[in-house]
Amino acid sequence: MGFNDPFVIVGLFLISLQFFQIGPAQSGQLWVLGTLALVVLRGGLAPRLQEVLCYVLFMATALVLTFFSDYDRVKAVEQVIKFAIVYPACYLVGRTLGSYYQSRKMPYGYLFLWLFLVFQFLVQHFEVPVLHQHVPFMQGALHGTFKERNWLAVFFFLGAYLLFLRSDRKPKSAALFASVCIVVALLSGSKTILIPCGVVLLLQFKGGGVLKWLAVAAGAGLFYYRFGPELTGELLRVRLEEERGLALVQVLELIERNFVGYGFGFVESYFSTFWIAVRGLGAGTNSVFSSPLDLFVIAGIPGVLMWMMFFAGVGLGRTAVIVLAPVALWSLVNPLHQSEIVYLFCGWLVSYALAQQASTLQAASGTSTVGHERSVKGDRLLNGRSLEARHG
């Protein structure tokens, strides 16, 4: 299926409008579903068998646990719709976009990302109706048209990461990529974006060992300077005893209690009535802070397999594992599996990785074939000379 660049840009814009809804759906979700319908009609859908099997196993397990176990639930149907329709649609559209743009120029560049970041700042500064809503717990951090600052950070990181992968990955390209991540981290207050940024530079930067480690060290220094006070003293104690530390302990107890899983809608119901208040969990929060842990709570082992394939690239080849490594690491400390943005870009990244892998194998096969042909020609030449010597 052919894509028009403005069509893709409009889609990315609509996905960012998380406060703007048409009926029960966000505008971006409608764009994704419409695009998927066009892809299917034109026969452009080509997921791999292992992707289909892994997803079907996860959904079948999660649905059985949701509708045939007697735990209390909140918004279970909403979660089912997202995991059964919206998220796979985003992933498949991303896979199609990745395949289409593999041999074409990207539909956007760094200029688009910078202008879009300015747009996010202006929308929040002027509190534009419909597009922006004030979120008290954000404490003034930039989130623009996104419901959370982390989703804004995810959008810009993944958008910049794709551009970096398609570049020469040398110092200038690395500087462009890192500058987006750093500015977004400072404006949004999203501490964790610097972690995948560092992983990208370690795995993908072609600037040599010294430059690579200098870049990572500079990022670590920035992280400590900007966010260090939030991870020490009283704030650290709160995180460990009342927030993520306490949440981790409770989630591990849930998994130990029931290794099979609890289905959709369980987390919000459980923590909203839990006898201890866990910061960040409860009413209005449908997942724990970690993607693999939350998927384990939902569907047990099939949930972990879902995370391993779609967020870590396991089962899709070595290149996919390397390309998705920053996403996999980030998802350990953030519920990335609850974002349409992540599924869209992960699909795009997987298509890129599979194409790179196929190209590498083809090149290796071509080299092997050429070597074999040369060997055969050499043997013929030697045999010919040997015969000449005999008859000479």
Rounded average pLDDT over 243-252: 82
The C-alpha atoms of residue 107 and residue 3 are separated, in whole angstroms, by 9
**Using the 8-state DSSP alphabet, how is residue 22 labeled?**
E
**199 pLDDT more than 80:** yes
Rounded average pLDDT over 362-389: 54
The model's confidence at residue 287, banded by pLDDT at 50, 70 and 90, is confident
Domain boundaries along the sequence of the chain: 5-383
Determine the pLDDT at residue 204.
92
Say which residue, 387 or 335, is predicted with more confidence: 335
Determine the pLDDT at residue 55.
98
Say which residue, 189 or 239, is predicted with more confidence: 189
pLDDT tens digits for 28-86? 999 999 999 999 998 888 899 999 999 999 999 999 999 998 889 999 999 999 999 99
The C-alpha atoms of residue 281 and residue 279 are separated, in whole angstroms, by 6
Find where tokens 């996905």 sit. Answer: 15
User: With the CA atoms of 149, 150, 153 and 159 taken in that order, what torsion angle do they form, in degrees rounded to the nearest 10?
Assistant: -130
Determine the pLDDT at residue 136.
75
Determine the pLDDT at residue 70.
87
At residue 89, what is the residue type? A
> Of the candidates 271, 265, 236, 275, which has an alpha carbon nearest to the alpha carbon of residue 251?
271
Task: List CB contacts of 168: < 8 A, sequence separation 6 or more.
Answer: 206
296: helix, strand or coil: helix
**Using the 8-state DSSP alphabet, how is residue 356 labeled?**
H
Determine the pLDDT at residue 116.
97
Say which residue, 277 or 328, is predicted with more confidence: 328
The model's confidence at residue 365, banded by pLDDT at 50, 70 and 90, is confident
**Cα distances (angstroms) measured from residue 307 to each of 12, 25, 295, 336, 345:** 24, 25, 7, 10, 15
Task: List CB contacts of 391: < 8 A, sequence separation 6 or more.
Answer: none
What DSSP assignment string belongs to 305-338?
HHHHHHTT-TTS-HHHHHHHHHHHHHHTSS-GGG
**β-pairing verdict for 25-26 and 21-22:** antiparallel
Rounded average pLDDT over 228-239: 62
Q: Where are the alpha helices (DSSP H) in 68-170?
A: 76-81, 87-100, 110-125, 149-165
The model's confidence at residue 325, banded by pLDDT at 50, 70 and 90, is very high
Question: Among the listed ranges 148-157, 291-300, 365-374, which one has the minimum average pLDDT value?
Answer: 365-374
Determine the pLDDT at residue 227.
67
Determine the pLDDT at residue 43.
83
Question: Among the listed ranges 124-128, 213-217, 229-233, 267-271, which one has the minimum average pLDDT value?
Answer: 229-233
Rounded average pLDDT over 161-185: 94
Contact by Cβ (8 Å): 317, 359: no
The C-alpha atoms of residue 231 and residue 333 are separated, in whole angstroms, by 14
The C-alpha atoms of residue 94 and residue 204 are separated, in whole angstroms, by 21
Residue 314 CB: number of other CB atoms within 10 A? 17
Look up the pTM and report it. 0.90
**356 pLDDT more than 50:** yes
Specify the DSSP element, H or E, that contains 176. Answer: helix 171-188
**127 pLDDT more than 90:** yes
